A and B are shown apart, each in its own frame.
With several copies, the nearest count.
Chain A
């Protein structure tokens, strides 16, 4: 288990390799990574600023990760989320889950993403032309949580 909140980029491949290094008890490893796109709603995006709530962020992510471990038999998991300025193509965040079988690993990764989206205190501001715009939360993100209740 692990949670990292950082401004620096991360090496997805190295993180996944570290998660299973020296282990022979993992059957399925799932990863998700979120990337900055160059358009939003048809408008070109020149970059993004990710604000967060230091202290609460780590606490919220750790709670979400712990909840995933009570719901699925996970051998390992990892959440990394960046903050600060990001450019199109940059990695925003990643989650990884390891389990015996694929169903648990997939479901736990989707659970982590759904809760992280609506419950971890991050806010995206997209730079569009000379201006900038706070990203609105999507109704579908809140609805996604109903799957896990």
Chain B
């Protein structure tokens, strides 16, 4: 599964995208798995209230299932316009 990071999430994780092998059932499970893996993920995901998630380019909740999902993205609240 491709995992993408944008804005300060990207800066804290240290890369814009990566391929991740995971059996995580939900977005929250994936966040926990990555945070346990390395400190930089734990830092990026330390306040999940400040993180938005998109699954295959549609906004989703933290408890959304990852079954069949090809692209997960993590980013801060949007500030366009």
A53 contacts B4, C-beta separation under 8 Å: yes
B78 touches which one: A55, A93, A119 (CB < 8 A)?
A119
Residue in B58, B76, B81 whose CB lies within 8 Å of A134: B76
Residues of A within 8 A of B57 (CB): 53, 55-56, 59-60
In the complex, the answer to whether A53 meets B59 with C-beta atoms within 8 Å is no
Do B75 and A34 have beta carbons less than 8 Å apart?
no
| B73 CB–A CB distance under 8 Å | yes
Q: What 0/1 pattern do residues 43 to 81 of B give for CB contact below 8 A with A?
A: 000000000001001110000000000000101111111
When distances are taken between beta carbons in the complex, the residues of chain A under 8 Å from B58 are 56, 59
Contacts of B81 in A (CB 8 A): 34, 92-93, 102, 113, 116-117, 120, 122
Least CB separation from A115: chain B residue: B81
> Are A118 and B78 in contact (CB-based, < 8 A)?
yes
How far, in whole Å, are A122 and B6 apart by their CA atoms in the complex? 9
Q: B: which residues have CB within 8 A of A?
A: 4, 6-8, 10, 54, 57-59, 73, 75-81
